Structure 1
């Protein structure tokens, strides 16, 4: 995995990932936790805050995440009953570690962090909104605005805290041309309002995309796939 992601996270130690189910949010969050672990000697705590029931959750690959040296936190659920993960408040305040939070898809999942808003809307926390223009809920600005507004309303996160992450893909068969076209669409939709912080791409396509992109490119390893392929 490439160790260099040319974004400024100086003074930041909390990183929250939000977005609709199916955007690739959990995949990006896992890879970002790994990136933090490789670039710094601080311990990395990963919180699976997903209280909804999407297709995949980061806890599905908990053992693999822990094998990287990442400290994994989640709360077992009884059927679909919502639960809260312990230790969030304490670790969000701890400057001696990194916290990565994978927040459940859409506004229902985002309710998990509403009570932590004062600790999220601060200078040492980044909030990333993961978008995939190939998904129906992110294919136009109205859909993006509707979903983001609902997430912000229930989570109490301030709009100015949110940074956009482009994750254009149509699955395991995605090629470099499709990544670039999806990113172009995303830039056209959100560019007038928000810059794209970085572009995510499957690591096998990284070199092809990096030379063609005008934003930082983040190569990711796929942990969560339908076929459970480790690419």
Structure 2
């Protein structure tokens, strides 16, 4: 069990991760699903709903995800043509399991969840918006507001459902100082807008970062580095 990370999910069993392409939401979603497996014995279903890009998708490490005890769902695509993953509606209603959904980047990707809005805008679902202060679309409040507004408009998710996740990084070489600085900058930008629910950091940087913030720090393992393709 991951005892060094704690976030209140009382009464929740569905968790959706949205955000701009490149924010790191797939990585965060995979790690959150792993966290659920470690903290409870309920089945954890993971839906890869990302239909907007050919790289850095959860399905690329499907076998590794399944080895963690996570039930993986996705739909094969032909030349990245939009597809609908089966089983979403049924499992979103099932209180006997957890559902983690990795929604495609930006408003185009978010369209995949629009038809399920009535099953998302409820008390047992959390929607996490992943922000990376080092990406150009998250470098000021106007960009954040514009992207988030477009995602909410097409997905029909209510603004009050959204919780902000800070994931400041510049890739594999990210330092602890860059994480701390990026998170502070993000907190200042959205301070009057939303609170940050938790901060994501590479697991090897956790000890260097955890005492520099008052919000929960989520140590994540990097699955989507594509180093596995070089072994």
What band does the TM-score fall into relative to the shorter chain?
A: over 0.9
- Structure 1 residues 173-223: Cα deviation after superposition (integer angstroms, max 9, x where no partner): 111100000000100111111000000000000011111111100000000
Cα distance change on mapping 1:134 and 1:229 into 2, 3 Å: farther
8 Å CA contact 2:2–2:38 kept in 1: the answer is no
Calculate the TM-score normalised by the size of structure 1.
Answer: 0.97
Aligned counterpart, 1:71: 71
Per the alignment, residue 223 of structure 2 pairs with 223
Alignment partner, residue 168 of structure 2: 168
CA distance in 2, matches of 1:215, 1:54: 34
> Residue in 2 aligned with 1:152?
152
Question: 1:106: which partner in 2?
Answer: 106
The superposition leaves residues 109-167 of structure 1 with CA deviations (integer Å, 9 ceiling, x where unpaired) of 00000000000000000000000000011111111001000000000000000000000
Are 1:137 and 1:144, in contact at CA under 8 Å, matched by a contact in 2?
yes
Residue pairs, 1:37-186, within 5 angstroms: 37-186=37-186
Which runs of 5 or more structure 2 residues have no equivalent in the other structure? none
Moved over 3 A (4+): 1-4, 226-230
Residue 201 (structure 2) aligns with: 201
**Aligned match of 2:35:** 35
Deviates more, 1:218-227 or 1:166-175: 218-227
User: 2: CA distance between counterparts of 1:109 and 1:54?
Assistant: 13
Q: Provide the TM-score with structure 2 as the length reference.
A: 0.97
Whole-angstrom distance in 2 between the partners of 1:55 and 1:166: 22
CA contact (8 A) 2:54 2:80 kept: no
CA drift at 1:3:
3.4
Cα RMSD of the aligned pairs, angstroms, is 1.4
Residue 21 of structure 1 contacts residue 54 of structure 1 at CA under 8 Å; is this kept in 2? Answer: no
Query: What residue in structure 2 maps to residue 190 of structure 1?
Result: 190
Matches of 1:100 and 1:192, distance apart in 2: 28
Residues in 2 aligned to 1:188 and 1:211: alpha-carbon distance in whole angstroms? 18
**How far apart are the structure 2 equivalents of 1:197 and 1:7?**
8
Residues of 2 paired with 1:141 and 1:147: CA distance? 10
Q: Determine helix, strand or coil for the equivalent of 1:199.
A: strand
SS state of the match for residue 199, structure 2?
strand
Instruction: Measure the CA separation in 2 of the matches of 1:158 and 1:88.
Output: 19
Query: Which 5+ residue runs of structure 1 have no aligned equivalent?
Result: none
**Total equivalences in the alignment:** 230
C-alpha contact 1:197 1:215 (8 A) present in aligned 2: yes
Asked if the contact 1:2/1:219 (under 8 Å) is kept, the reply is no
